[in-house]
Each structure stands twice: as structure tokens, then as C-alpha cells.
Structure 1
Amino acid sequence: MGKVQDGSGGRSVQPSIRRIEIDDLRACLVAGAWDFAQAPVIGLAIGGVFSLIGIAITLALAVWGVPWLIYPFAIGFPLIGPFAAVGLYEVSRRLEAGREVTWSTVFAVIWAQRRREVSWMAFVMLFVFWMWMYQVRLLVALILGRMSFATLERFADLVLTTSQGWLFLAVGHVVGAFLSLFLFSITVIAIPLLLDRDVDFITAMITSVRTVLASPVVMVAWGVFVTLAVVVACLPLFVGLMVVLPVLGHATWHLYRRAISY
């Protein structure tokens, strides 16, 4: 595995991976809620931006005459959540170090990521999200191709009351679960690591996967919890993301700090 340099340009070190337990997840959630309470305006702003993006895309799908894509979009939308959390990681990092948290310092760090390895991770996440949406359309063509569903209500009735619809749901969710597990494994530790240390994105992804493999049951449980929490937050017109996204983002930073040491 590649080596990691600290943010100050110090000597290269190999990160060591600590096994994560369920109690660690509880502690991370508590710490995440505390961080959100210390800088709520920044958290609400970042969560609000993604709420607005979700609403805008949902309205666009309805206007374009493909409202049935709203459901897979809402399911897949959390796939790009880790990139949204970069600013939240920076807030937690500053609070942890006892440094001042301001709009200018946090958003300066977010803006700086365009020239760092995090931008490559954003490409990876968007590519997986595109794969998810593409396979949904492929499954629709293969399984539901001869059926008519011009509205979201008709699509819901079709997939819930017909054998073809049940097959579509079963295959779609299995494929979606695989993609989600893959993306979770390569990003859960990678993005906070890229923010915190001078490391290439390949090494960061490998470190993230190694962390998941070190505590597979607990880490997958965390991934499932995060996915369900974000999906539920998306249901009331994505408004719930304003709170859920920042709390989970801060919590993920603390998970990274517990899992990785130098």
C-alpha cells in the first residue's frame, strides 16, 4: 500500500487500522450531533444545498416526463453524499483541534479540493451514480419494456402488483446493494483521509477498503444505517437532509479518526 504524508509535509508514514465496534458507532453519532450543534449554520447550509439539488432534479424528472425515475434517483442520491461532507469534515477537524470555525475557513478548504485528490473521488462517485441510474433504465427496458407507466403512481402500481414488477424490484435492489457496498467501501474512510493527509486517491481507496475488511459486520451496519437515514431524510422533499447529512458527515469524520492512526 502507498504511504501517507501528514498535512504539513512531514515524513511518510503507514496508517494503521483499528478494529471498529458497535460502541464506536454510537460514540461517533453522539460526537457528530455535538459538532453539528457547535456549528449548526454551516451544517444547515451544506445540507440545504443538497436538499435544493434533490428538489430541482426531482422537479426536472417530472417535467421531462420520466417521474418513475424519481424513486431510483432518491435511492441513488446518497451515493454522492460523502463528497458533500468535505466541508463538514473540515468543521469537525477544526473543532477537534480547538481552531476557529468560520465560513471563510471552511469554504476555502472546500474550494481548495478542486486541485486535490478529492476531485478524483468525486468523479468515481458520480460515475457509480451514473451506473446506478443506467442499470435502472436497462432493467426497465428488459423487464418492464412492454408495459406503460406514464406517471409515478402507475409505475408504483406496476412494480408492486405484477410479477414483472416484483422481479424488477428484486434485481434492481440486489444490483443497487452491490454498487452501494462497493462505493461505501472505497469512500467511507478515503475522503476524510484525503482531506486530512497528503495521499493519492488510490491509496485512500485501498485504506478505506482495508478498514471495512477489518470490521466488516460493523462497517456494513454503519453503511446500511447511513443509507437508510439518508433515504428517509429524502422522503419529505429532501428537507430532512438539512439535519441528517451534517450529523452523519460529522459522525463519519469521528469514525475515520477512530479507525485510522499514524
Structure 2
Amino acid sequence: MTHPDLPAGGVRTLEPAVRAASVADIRAAFEAGMRDFMAAPVFGLFFGAIYWLGGLMLLTLPGYFGYVWAVFPLAAGFALIGPFVAVGLYEVSRRRETGEPLTWPLVLQAVWRQGGRELSWMAFVTLFIFLIWMYQVRLLYALFFGFASLDPLLFVQQLFTTADGLIFLGIGTCVGAILALVTFSITLVSFPLLLDRDVDWITAMITSLRVVRESPEVMLGWGLVTAVVIFVAMLPAFAGLLFVLPLWGHATWHLYRRLVVHPVAT
């Protein structure tokens, strides 16, 4: 089975084109993602478990070492690295689409090969944004609460019952929303594009931005729904990510395939 946008004898160019998205595209991508998850649930649960366990570590370790202030921003910023963790899911969907064998060695090797390619630069970009998020939260914490570590209960009390705490929450939420919007815009289709095609990471980011610009209302709606679902999935000790990551990972692949068109030269 070949990609539908590649005619027989055609040769791909490096500049992908984008098309406008509709709610129907979102629905179709989600339905296709559900089919992928149901057809290969072990792969989905495996990568979902990695994401879940990583979330649990970020939730428990800061409190254990006395950095209670870092628990909430770490949990909030953790979603930023979701597209990178989902690379294995993109590979599963790609193989199902093309009819290639779907085995653990082949999927894991495909993911491992990305370590020395352009996709690793995109991973660095998302990690850099995550670090910016954490540093600005640390700066705000120092400005409003000083440098001393607070008792967990005292910190929560000050966070929600004092003017400084509410201002801290307000500013942090606004900055986080801006960083989340930037990350969403540059990673919406960049990771699956880099896995699928031989393009550089700058081109991948620009293509992702063009997808968002082409249909801002639909794409931002998709991003808002994604953020809400991930937040709900995190409430039961991050356990919901076991199922949310596979569904959204597979759906993202199919959304990329619907919105990014690779021109061909015959």
C-alpha cells in the first residue's frame, strides 16, 4: 500500500504543501486513530505507559526533595514533550497505512534511528521550551515567595488564599498559555512529518505553523480540546495518559496525513 498523494512514478519534492482543515478532518483523524489503537493496543499501551511513568516521576520527585513549588509547573509542562514520546505511535500508524510489517523490532528500530536525525533537533526544541517554562516559574516563585522551600501544606495555602499566590498563578498561567501555543503550533505536524519524510527540522516547524495559519480556528480548537483532555487524564495520578497518549498520537498522524500534501514531480 502506498501513500495516497504519491502517484506511480512520481518523485517527492522537499517542500510540503498544506491544506485547510475542517472539523470533519479532526473527526476522521480521531476515528482513524481509534482504529489504530484498537488494532495494535499493545504498542499504544507501551508508549502510553512510558509517558505515564514519566509523569509519575515528575509528580513525586520534586516533593520528595523539597521542591513542592515545582510539582504543578512540571505537571503542566509535561504535556509539551508528548509529541516526542508519541513518535513510536506515529510509526505504528505509518506502518499500518503502508501495509509494512508491524513488529516490535521494526517499530523500536525506527524510533531509535531518529536519534541521529532531524527529529532529535525537534526534541531539543521542545525540551528547550520546557526548560524556559520551568525557569520562568522558578523566577516567579522567588519573586513572590523567596528562595526558601515551603512546607507543602503552607505552600498550597499561600497559593490559593493570598494575593501573592493568586498573582503568581495568574502570571504563570498566562506565560504557560503562550508557551503552550507556541509549542503546539511548531509541533502539530512536525514530528510525524520528520518521521515520514526527508525534510529538515526548520522546514517541519514552518510547515506546522502554516497548517495552523491555514485553519487557525479549527487548529486552535483542536489544541484546546487536547489540553483539556490531557488535564483530565492527569487527574487520576496521570493514569489517564495510558489511553489518551495512544489515541491522540495515532490521531495526530492521521491529521498530518490529511493536512500535509507532498507535491510530486513526474
Q: TM-score, normalised by structure 2?
A: 0.91
Q: Does 1:175 align with 2:175?
A: yes
Task: Name whichever of 16-25 and 111-120 sits farther off.
Answer: 16-25
Match of 2:118 in 1: 117
> Does 2:205 align with 1:190?
no
Kept in 1: contact 2:233–2:241 (CA 8 A): yes
> What secondary structure sits across from 1:236 in the alignment?
coil
- State the shift of 1:173 in Å: 0.6
| Poorly superposed stretches of 4+, deviation over 6 Å | none
Q: Which amino acid aligns with 1:242?
A: L
Structure 2, unmatched stretches of 5+, are: 1-5
Coordinate RMSD, CA, aligned? 1.7
Once the 2 structures are TM-superposed, how far is the Cα of residue 10 of structure 1 from its aligned partner? 4.4
- Aligned residue for 1:259? 259
Deviations 1:14-61 (A, max 9, x none): 322110112211221111111110110011011101211121232211
Match of 2:245 in 1: 245
Report how far residue 155 of structure 1 moved.
2.3
CA distances 1:79-109 after superposition (whole Å, capped 9, x unpaired): 0000011110011111112222111111111
- The residue aligned with 1:27 is 28
Change (3 A) 1:173 1:94: same
CA distance in 2, matches of 1:137, 1:115: 32
Deviation, 1:144, is: 2.8
- 195-204 vs 154-163, which deviates more? 154-163
**Which residue of 1 is the match for residue 139 of structure 2?**
138
Calculate the TM-score normalised by the size of structure 1.
0.92
Please give the residue correspondences for 1:209-220 in structure 2 after superposition, counting only pairs within 5 Å.
Answer: 209-220=209-220
Q: Assess if the C-alpha contact under 8 Å between 1:55 and 1:238 holds in 2.
A: yes
1:156 and 2:161 are equivalent in the alignment: no
Q: Separation in 1 of the partners of 2:210 and 2:141?
A: 35
1:49 aligns with 2:22: no
- Structure 1 stretch displaced more, 125-134 or 48-57: 48-57
Q: Give the Cα–Cα distance (whole angstroms) in 2 for the partners of residues 83 and 39 of structure 1.
A: 19
**Contact 2:33-2:248 within 8 A present in 1 as well:** yes
How many residues are paired up?
254
CA distance in 2, matches of 1:227, 1:217: 15
Identity %: 51
Deviations along 1:147-185, whole A, 9 cap, x unmatched?
97321x332221211111111111111100000111111
User: Which stretch shifts more, 85-94 or 138-147?
Assistant: 138-147
Letter in 2 for 1:27: A
Q: Which amino acid aligns with 2:181?
A: L
Aligned residue type for 1:140: Y
Query: Could you tell which deviates more after superposition, 164-173 or 137-146?
Result: 137-146
Q: How many angstroms does 1:250 deviate by?
A: 0.4
